[in-house]
A and B are shown apart, each in its own frame.
Chain A
Amino acid sequence: MDEAPATGTNAISTNGSALIEVRNLVKYFPITQGIVFQKQIGAVKAVDDISFDVKRGETLGIVGETGCGKSTTARLLVRLLDPTSGTILFEGQDIAAAKKEDLKALHREAQMVFQDPYSSLNPRKTVGSIIADPFVIHGLLKESGARRKRVQELMDRVGLNPEHYNRFPHEFSGGQRQRIGVARAIALEPKLLVADEPVSALDVSIQAQVLNLLRGLQREMGLTLIFIAHDLSVVRHMCDRVAVMYLGKVVEIASSEDLYSFPRHPYTGALLSAVPVPSPTGGRRERQLLTGDVPSPANPPKACRFHTRCFKAQSICSEDDPPLEYKGTRTMAACHFPLTEAEVKLRLPAALTAGRNGSGNARGAAGVIADQPPSSSSSSST
């Protein structure tokens, strides 16, 4: 655990330009037994010691299967949940232990867009008052005419008709409701927007509308975006960097280009291998199927949590937890036996690896860090 990149400079890709620095963040949900005298009999380890940085103005994607802790991470970052331990530095200030009064200031800077546009809007309020809520809560734009004008500007910005100010959420389609959610989130001009599966509840033809809106807003307002999704194609399209989570741990973090063309963690490889490509010819050579299900986060496997499903696992994987570290390239992965070029080529859709030539080491390690050679002993031993 000591090697975990907790110290500033070896950070997960940043040179002091970070908006958020997450260090050793942990969130356990207690499992209790008994009705009157409750005692804790265990814990769901939703997020278990993760560290990463988010740079100003970038889009960081978080991907993983159901139950890997990606939504918990999102909620921790805007402090909708209280962390069990660890620090979250937002512009240098630790918000992990911030009190309720201080959180109000945080929420002017960090806002969230939720997954389900049907349940995240109060059905009894008009759209105008939903979008105006942030101003009411923070005591801004007290004069009603000015507030209304600003709300209508926001509606126009996200592609809603400003004249629909007095309508109720049920009069809007799913895509339009998600636009309402976005308008509410950007009302206070936050620095950070956390979008938790913002398009997974929408029809395919509508998804692109919302994705383009988010991208446009980011460009215009200089937003930092944390984008959480289970759809790897969407994440590749939206994000500059991507963190892959498995059972509460970040197992790989890299730029989109690197992650999708040369994944190092076998779990990332398996995820990419499983994505269906909408082309009957451009598929992969061999599909690496994961067997079984994700183990319970209440009782995760020891050491490397992926070893129970990993095709490269050896005895060390169940004894020694691999730290998240640079694997010769610019990619950080937590694995004793990272994927080799040949293994990647075999598993990924041909189009993803096509642009690459030479070995992964050739392009990596430029600048940022003192290079750590890839653990050559381990990769050759397979």
Chain B
Amino acid sequence: MSTPLLQVEDLRVRFSTDDGIVHAVDGISYTVDTGQTLGIVGESGSGKTVSSLTTLGLTRAKNTTIEGRILFEGRDLVTLSDDELRKIRGNEIAMIFQDPLSSLHPFYKVGAQLSEAVLTHRSVGKSAARARSVELLELVGIPDPQKRVDQFPHEFSGGMRQRVMIAMALANEPKLLIADEPTTALDVTVQAQILGLLEDLQRRLGMAIIVITHDLGVVAEITDHIAVMYAGRIVERAPTEAIFGSPQHPYTWGLLRSIPRLDTPRDEELVPISGRPPSLIQRPSGCHFHPRCPYVREAHKRIDPRLEPVTGDPGHFAACLLETDVRSRIWRALQAGEDPASLRHLVVEDQQPMRAHATHRLASQEEL
């Protein structure tokens, strides 16, 4: 087995602030291979953006502690100096940011900004860089690139600006492209265009892509693998089909059941995840998801689950203390439209609720 393009091992990122230490990323591991797309899914504050910014060295600061390893083609990016990292950033690893309006400089022409990306890493002349800019605009499907290259960002629409951002990221033919919420600010029709463009570019250029998003629809369309993050950790990681086919973590179930979708009956009730995302300064004890989990046992409030392979499915990892057979029973019931609250009986507690269960049965016998 060859080494993967990017291998993140037990990455931890902490920020010390006036309010306390923020555990933004808390021991995550994943790999991405050339030509593959990984989706990182989570809510705001789950650490999905921080983990990828750290890959590019963009979280380095006095108040930041970074532990773990980020191996890119065998080199550990965490230990590289700022100068060495600068040679990789924008060259071998590039990033697309969420908001194309604020990511482009309003004073400079699009061509100048694209040329800068080229000139930073290549020793070519200005005219060659400009020619490359035109070529890049054409690559991302901007009509009339000869003219557009001399225009300012405000003359581009939202979707076109995101195309410019993608063009800039591709300037040096990166091996890894990180797209942070690439379509969140865009309309569905434009989103479909951009996703199609990313897929097409990946086929032609053969790069690896990491897509960071909260939109399960987006990841279903373009990813090969998915990592679901919650409170700074990966709580489930699996091939895309497995995440949607047999999800294992209660948080993933919650995400899947709480969004209205076009492929389910219209009047199906949404099942929200109760509560709100936890603070990353004072994290819940035990399993971080336990305050919002409908299937919590007393023990789960003390024991911290590890990301472990799911029994019988070696490529599928989940950090959940429920047994695999209990989980699959719950997921089947959820798919049949049952309310999470009514499924508590499937989670047999170690002692007390056992008794509750027994008395319940006694009561029903008495009724008979």
Q: Which residues of A contact B (CB under 8 A)?
A: 65-66, 173, 175-176, 203-209, 211-212, 230-234, 236-238, 256-257, 260, 270-283, 287, 289-294, 349-352
Contact = CB atoms under 8 A, between A and B. Distances in A.
Given A203-B43, A212-B272, 4 more contacts: A65-B189, A66-B158, A175-B276, A205-B254
Interface stretch (B10-18, B75-83, B260-268): B260-268
B191 interface: yes
Interface on chain A toward B: helix, strand, loop, or mixed SS? helix
Nearest to B184: A200
17 contacts: A65-B187, A175-B276, A204-B216, A208-B258, A236-B260, A237-B266, A237-B270, A275-B188, A276-B191, A276-B218, A277-B217, A277-B221, A277-B261, A278-B259, A281-B241, A290-B192, A352-B263
B261 A230 contact: no
A92 B361 CA distance: 60
A276 B221 contact: yes
Contacts of B259: 204, 207-208, 233, 278
Given A66-B187, A203-B43, A279 B263 contact: yes
A271 B268 CA distance: 22
> Which are the 9 A-B pairs with shortest beta-carbon distances?
A276-B217, A237-B260, A351-B263, A208-B272, A274-B192, A208-B258, A205-B273, A278-B216, A208-B270
B293 interface: no
Nearest to B268: A237
Contacts, number: 140
B160 interface: yes
A207 B258 contact: yes
Contact of A203 (B158, B214, B217): B214
B220 A205 contact: no
Contacts of A280: 220-221, 240-241, 244
Range class of the B interface residue count? 35 or more
Contacts of B270: 208, 211-212, 237
Given A232-B262, A277-B220, A206 B272 contact: yes
Interface of B: 43-44, 143, 157-160, 187-193, 195-196, 214-221, 240-241, 244, 254-256, 258-264, 266, 268-274, 276-277
Contacts of B44: 203
B147 to A, nearest CB: 16
Nearest to B241: A280
A204 B221 contact: no
Contact of B263 (A237, A274, A282): A282
B220 A206 contact: no
Contacts of B254: 205
Nearest to A256: B266
Nearest to B221: A276
A203 B214 CA distance: 8
B272 A205 contact: yes
